[in-house]
Structure 1
Amino acid sequence: MAETSHKQPVEAWITGIGLATSLAEGLDAHWDALAERRVNVDTTGFAPYIVHPLAPLSFDKQIPKKGDQRQMEAWQRIGTYAAGLALDSAGIKGNTEILSRTDMIVAAGGGERDLSVDSAVLNSEAHGDTPPGALNERLMNDLRPTLFLAQLSNLLAGNIAIVHGVTGSSRTFMGEEEAGVDAARIALARIAAGQSDIALIGAAQNGERKDLLMLYEFGDFNLKHNHAPVFSRGPKGGFALGSGAAFLVIESKAHAQARGAKPYARLSNVVADMSRRRAPGDVTASMDKLWTQLGPLHDNAAIITGATGAEPATAEEAAFLRAHGAHPIRATGTAFGHVMEAQFPLGIALAALALSRGALFPANDPSGLEIETSTAPDQIVVVGAGHWRGEGMALVEAIR
């Protein structure tokens, strides 16, 4: 009797990490900033709102052509820069053969707007003396074609392809925090199924935008007046938008070994849910369910959360975290702000970095949820509950 063969899923390694945030650029600088519990916030430039501004970058280092830089808005420059760092980190920058088959999955928002044009249109409408059709005429005549292109979500992936030559398949997901979860989930699923050998995933945000602050103020999501750690913001809460980008190179173990690449960590599982959020406790229940789907977890596993600070989602996530308080917890929102689509990739990047360094970075929240530990984790669970919709988790494991 012939035996039935069962093909094992392909193991996925994280071989490249690109970080450009409000704290720093690059892995060593980020590790030092986290060790020092550094926080970079602007409390006056967009008062009463709190913003984590981008650390100084020399965009020429990753985007050498000024023409390429000029046709991008800030969020695209930040993302293209971090993508270049990830490719450098993985050792595939400029490798045409590998880049030509590197798949790309980007999580993106709706792009940026021209505030001067928007303001002029709104002022004209407010005066009540605009003829019929004036709005369409102003938008057609005042907006540059390059600006319109900068507002397209898939242009971040397009610019990465142009600047860095990543020309495999390309996907752009929208959907705020959950888009970042799905970028990782789909990349892992494709690699595990043998449909992809190597992928570049990530997201970027320019949080220093008045239009974005206005958008989230309509939902009363913004943190105002004073910065506080994510779990110390009280019942009203709110998030402080951050500028930054996180990109990862993920590839099959066999592909990485064949080219002699050294992994930072293994991406073992990514799970996602979207609870109805109609009754108190829905988010907590969703996260309880996801936790059981991750696979066996060790006693020394740590948790990195992208908790936003916005309520009631953060309070419900905190209830879940307290139930797992034996595991050391770290919240990225305190130091980095909320980078929306990039929050989950940022968590995976920091998890892989911590595992590769054999340590967890220090606690930075006095609420009691974050506790110090001297134990080196060999697993880190990345968790996140979107400020409005969506929950996700990833299991990142050390490779010894």
Structure 2
Amino acid sequence: MAEKEVWITGIGLLSSLGEGLDAHWEALADKRVNADDKRLAPYVIHPIGPVSFDAQIPKKGDQRQMETWQRIGTYAAGLALDSAGVKGNQEILSRMDMIIAAGGGERDLTVDMAIMNADAQGKLPPALLNEKLMNELRPTLFLAQLSNLLAGNIAIVHGVCGTSRTFMGEEAAGIDAARIAVARIGAGQSDIALVGAAHNGDRGDLLMLYAFGDFALKNQHSSIWSRRNNPGFAIGSAGAFLVMESREHAEARGAKPFAKLTKVVADLARRKEPGAVTKSLQAMWPKLGVGDDAILITGATGAEPATSEERAFLEQRPGLVVRAPGTTFGHTMEAQFPLGLALAALSISRGKLYPGNDPAGFEVEKPGAPTQIVVMGVGHWQGEGMALVEAAK
């Protein structure tokens, strides 16, 4: 049996640039960047833009039991459902699958600091530690929020009640979420799915982890392609969700596609070997069936040595027209690949590629309406993947 065509019929975006497709398209056209190098100095972050969560999460009780990353994701998921025209359609939502990429969730820094200060002062006997953990944390949580709470909250707020899968593993999780969605819909195991991720970059606990690994961008913001002498990523904030469905299902309900998602491939390079990332990308590229003059949206991080090895692959194909959303959005970890898919589908649906944002000149302009865009992801630590997004005919 032939694989079913997978259409992207809904896109929900919330980021440091704002919310919704029009706001993001205008910001990309203006080459706008909302980066903050003061709040968590000397590190650069992209905090979420101004948003009233009430618009997609109307109950204050629901909002209160979510940390920011969950609010971002639940909000973006609602935007995607609106975009696809299925918001509130209980017949469809009751069987819509969810495939989500998520990290370990946010810690309660107030509780963490109280425990650490008490320990430093020699005032933390075991009984007191247990008391703080039992009385100062929400009863449904532990020291960090569970990754699958995002899917749970989307189900509660929006009524998406089909099967649910949550992938963990930073950038690779976002790649696999898309890969599994395409495989399930293509095989007829799912008619329609909500796929995406959320990330909050305005977190001191998260920044500490990446700073210890020497991954975080310091001092000032710059283009992804201008960071060789000051490598690292600026942690980004974004919710990126897509409604994917089979062509037959979309046509039956009269839905129009932004684009079709033809293929997703993934790999896990042996990064202890120099050049492993370049070899991984070379091996995946032929599987997409595109030429070396394609348009490519890459989730390049700016962290080394991954970005240099990724650039080596790109420079072997000088005809590629490249965009790196990491310059504009920051690096949004699990959401980086879904964000790339969203920008590719949006560009195809609007009939042009958004302009490059690279003073170094690596990102050249491409006139005309794109019909194929490759989305690429190379994790800062591990995980590689590619997808082909095409115009739906």
TM-score range, shorter chain: over 0.9
Asked if residue 225 in structure 1 is aligned to residue 206 in structure 2, the reply is no
Out of 351, 363, 367, which is 2:356 matched to?
A: 363
Q: With the length of structure 1 as denominator, give the TM-score of the two structures.
A: 0.96
Q: Which moved more, 1:47-56 or 1:125-134?
A: 125-134
Picking from 331, 352, 357, the partner of 2:324 is: 331
TM-score, normalisation: structure 2: 0.97
The residue aligned with 1:44 is 38
Cα deviation for residue 368 of structure 1 reads: 3.2
Among 305, 314, 320, the residue aligned to 2:307:
314
The reply to whether residue 121 of structure 1 matches residue 125 of structure 2 is no
Deviation at 1:128, TM superposition (A): 3.4
C-alpha separation in 2, matches of 1:119 and 1:25: 33
1:49-198 equivalence runs, <5 A: 49-148=43-142, 151-198=145-192
| Deviation readout 1:145-169 (Å, 9 max, x if unpaired) | 2554970110000000000000000
Task: Tell me if structure 2 keeps the 8 A contact 1:71–1:150.
Answer: no
SS in 2 for 1:289: helix
Separation of aligned partners in 1, 2:25 and 2:229: 31
Please say if 1:234 is aligned against 2:233. Answer: no
> Secondary structure of the residue that 2:73 maps to in structure 1?
helix
CA displacement at 1:138 relative to structure 2: 2.6
**What letter corresponds to residue 104 of structure 1 in structure 2?**
M
1:31 aligns with 2:25: yes
Q: Is the 8 A contact 1:264 1:355 kept in 2?
A: yes
Contact kept in structure 2, 1:107 and 1:180, CA below 8 Å: yes
Of 377, 388, 391, the residue aligned with 1:395 is 388
Deviations 1:163-192 (A, max 9, x none): 000000000000000000000000000001
Supply the distance in 1 between the matched residues of 2:215 and 2:392 (Cα, whole angstroms).
Answer: 39
Choose the corresponding residue for 1:382, options 353, 375, 378. Answer: 375
- How many residue pairs get aligned? The number is 393
Structure 2 unaligned segments of length 5 or more: list them.
none
Provide closer, same or farther for how the CA distance between residues 299 and 286 of structure 1 changes in structure 2, counting only shifts above 3 A: closer
Shift of 1:384: 1.0
Aligned to 2:195: 201
1:255 is paired with a residue of what secondary structure?
Answer: helix
Distance in 2 of aligned mates of 1:103 and 1:267: 17
What is the distance in 2 between the residues matched to 1:227 and 1:336? 11
CA distance in 2, matches of 1:233, 1:196: 42
Shift of 1:375: 3.1
Q: CA deviation at 1:324?
A: 2.0
Task: Judge conservation of contact 1:92–1:98 (CA < 8 Å) in 2.
Answer: yes
Structure 1 distance, partners of 2:360, 2:377, is 18
Read off the aligned partner of 1:181 and give its amino acid letter: I
Q: Compute the displacement of 1:33 (Å).
A: 0.5
Corresponding residue for residue 348 of structure 1: 341
- Contact 1:300/1:376, CA 8 A, preserved across alignment: no
- Partner in structure 2 of residue 4 of structure 1: none
- Report the Cα distance in structure 1 between the residues aligned to 2:140 and 2:223, rounded to whole angstroms: 39
Q: Which amino acid aligns with 2:210?
A: Y
Q: Is the 8 A contact 1:325 1:369 kept in 2?
A: no
Give secondary structure in 2 for the equivalent of 1:112.
Answer: coil
- Pairwise CA RMSD: 1.4
C-alpha separation in 2, matches of 1:232 and 1:340: 20
Q: SS of the residue aligned with 2:9? A: strand
Secondary structure at 2:160's aligned position in 1? coil
Q: Deviation of residue 246 (structure 1)?
A: 0.1
Judge which range, 129-138 or 263-272, deviates more: 129-138
Distance in 2 between the 1:221 and 1:258 partners?
47
Q: Secondary structure at the match of 1:388?
A: coil
Q: Secondary structure at the match of 1:303?
A: strand
Instruction: Report the Cα offset of residue 252 of structure 1.
Output: 0.2
Q: Deviations over 1:260-310 (max 9, x none)?
A: 00000000000000011012100010011111111x215653000000111
Q: Please, which moves more after superposition, 370-379 or 56-65? A: 370-379
Q: 1:135, CA displacement in angstroms?
A: 3.1
Judge conservation of contact 2:298–2:324 (CA < 8 Å) in 1.
yes
Partner AA of 1:309 in structure 2: G
In 2, Cα distance between equivalents of 1:235 and 1:271: 32
8 Å CA contact 2:292, 2:320 repeated in 1: yes
The 8 Å contact of residues 293 and 317 in structure 2, kept in 1 or not, is answered as no
Distance 1:180 1:320 in 2: 22
How far residue 50 of structure 1 moved from its aligned partner, in angstroms, is 0.5
The 2-side partners of 1:147 and 1:73 are apart by 11
Alignment partner, residue 3 of structure 1: none
Shift of 1:355: 0.4
Distance 1:34 1:87 in 2: 23
Calculate percent identity across the aligned residue pairs.
Answer: 69
CA distance in 1, matches of 2:69, 2:329: 16
- Which SS does the other structure have where 1:52 is aligned? coil
Deviation at 1:143, TM superposition (A): 1.6
- Within the candidate set 277, 281, 287, 2:275 is matched to 281
Tell me the secondary structure at the aligned position of residue 268 of structure 1. Answer: strand
